[in-house]
């Protein structure tokens, strides 16, 4: 029960950070696409470092390479199936000259929600390990990138004419999927204690799928490759630093 509670509280805290970022919509309606891409790149760097230092390395230390390969592949396959069978759309794909209707916005919000689930899952799984410090570092890192994600969801909606309150509520709701993932992740570690490396690497596979298949390609649509790399590296360094000071 302690593991489930920690998983719930940690993922709830990280998911709630989305509301902090969404709060900026009350002060601006401008949607700068380059800034949007830069924030996503920074968030991708945080997620990438969290995947390596908080999930993959602990998994390999516990179980070796083969369980990690199995769990990682299952995580990638799971997100691939979600991508294939759950309809969703990114805000920058083909947006030029196309009217944005509620259905299109709904698909965009659903895409962000799919992104958030692996983050909550990762936080929940991390609290199922014996290293509370790494779990806290991961929670803080995910919370920081969720602040950026909240802004990245709310401002595009505001630029399409939605009210600030409407944008804030929608962006905040996208973060509520993280506690669901958090409880699921913590529950998996309780039920499958003997295969913890597979559970950790499963979460890592989900995270890396989102980073490489969704976030980074989205960044390149509106940002130069050089700028994208710089912001990604800065985010990576920040998460690497957080992991170091917490442990």
pLDDT 10s digits, 143-169: 888 888 888 778 777 777 778 888 888
User: Which has more pLDDT, 133 or 86?
Assistant: 133
**Residue 70: pLDDT band with limits 50, 70, 90:** very high
Res 96: pLDDT: 39
Residue 114 has pLDDT above 60, yes or no: yes
Q: What is the pLDDT of the chain when averaged over all its residues?
A: 79
By residue range, what is the domain housing residue 89? 2-246
Q: Which residue in 21, 194, 19, 203 sits closest to 117, CA to CA?
A: 203
**Residue 87: pLDDT band with limits 50, 70, 90:** low
Lowest mean pLDDT of 74-78, 94-98, 212-216, name the range: 94-98
Residue 109 has pLDDT above 80, yes or no: no
Q: What's the Cα-to-Cα distance from 118 to each of 11, 97, 142, 177, rounded to whole Å?
A: 11, 32, 11, 9
> 117-151 in b/e burial notation, b at 16+ Cβ within 10 A?
bbbbbbbbbbbbbebeebbbbbbbbbbbbbbbbbb
d(CA 74, CA 81): 11
Q: What is the DSSP letter of 26?
A: G
Res 68: pLDDT: 92
d(CA 99, CA 111): 19
Residue 141 has pLDDT above 80, yes or no: yes
Q: What is the DSSP letter of 224?
A: -
Res 195: pLDDT: 78
For residues 14-43, give the mean pLDDT.
80
Lowest mean pLDDT of 79-88, 125-134, 175-184, 229-238, name the range: 79-88
Apex CA 212: angle with CA 211 and CA 216, to 5°? 75
Number of domains the chain contains: 1
Res 236: pLDDT: 93
**Residue 74: pLDDT band with limits 50, 70, 90:** very high
User: Which has more pLDDT, 114 or 122?
Assistant: 122
pLDDT 10s digits, 24-37: 888 876 666 677 77
For residues 210-229, give the mean pLDDT.
72
User: Which has more pLDDT, 101 or 105?
Assistant: 105
Six-digit token string for 245? 């000071």
DSSP string, 27-61: T-----HHHHHHHHHHHHHHHHHHIIIIIIHHHHH
Res 231: pLDDT: 86
pTM of this structure: 0.78
Residue 95 has pLDDT above 80, yes or no: no
Res 92: pLDDT: 47
């Amino acid at each position: 029960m302690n593991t489930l509670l920690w998983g719930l509280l940690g993922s709830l805290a990280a998911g709630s950070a989305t509301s902090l970022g969404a709060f900026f919509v009350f002060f601006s309606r401008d949607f700068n696409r380059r800034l949007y891409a830069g924030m996503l790149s920074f968030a991708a760097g945080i997620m990438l470092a969290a995947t390596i230092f908080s999930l993959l390395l602990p998994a390999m230390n516990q179980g070796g390479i083969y369980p990690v390969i199995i769990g990682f592949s299952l995580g990638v396959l799971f997100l691939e199936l979600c991508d294939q069978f759950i309809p969703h759309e990114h805000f920058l794909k083909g947006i030029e000259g196309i009217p944005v209707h509620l259905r299109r916005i709904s698909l965009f919000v659903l895409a962000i929600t799919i992104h958030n689930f692996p983050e909550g899952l990762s936080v929940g799984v991390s609290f199922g390990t014996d290293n509370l410090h790494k779990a806290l570092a991961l929670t803080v890192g995910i919370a920081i990138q969720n602040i950026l994600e909240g802004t990245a969801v709310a401002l595009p909606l505001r630029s399409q004419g939605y009210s600030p309150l409407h944008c804030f509520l929608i962006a905040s709701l996208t973060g509520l999927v993280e506690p669901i993932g958090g409880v699921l992740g913590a529950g998996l570690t309780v039920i499958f204690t003997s295969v913890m490396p597979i559970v950790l690497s499963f979460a890592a596979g989900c995270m890396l799928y989102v980073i490489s298949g969704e976030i980074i390609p989205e960044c390149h649509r509106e940002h130069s490759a050089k700028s994208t790399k710089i912001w990604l590296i800065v985010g990576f360094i920040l998460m690497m630093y957080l992991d170091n000071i917490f442990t």
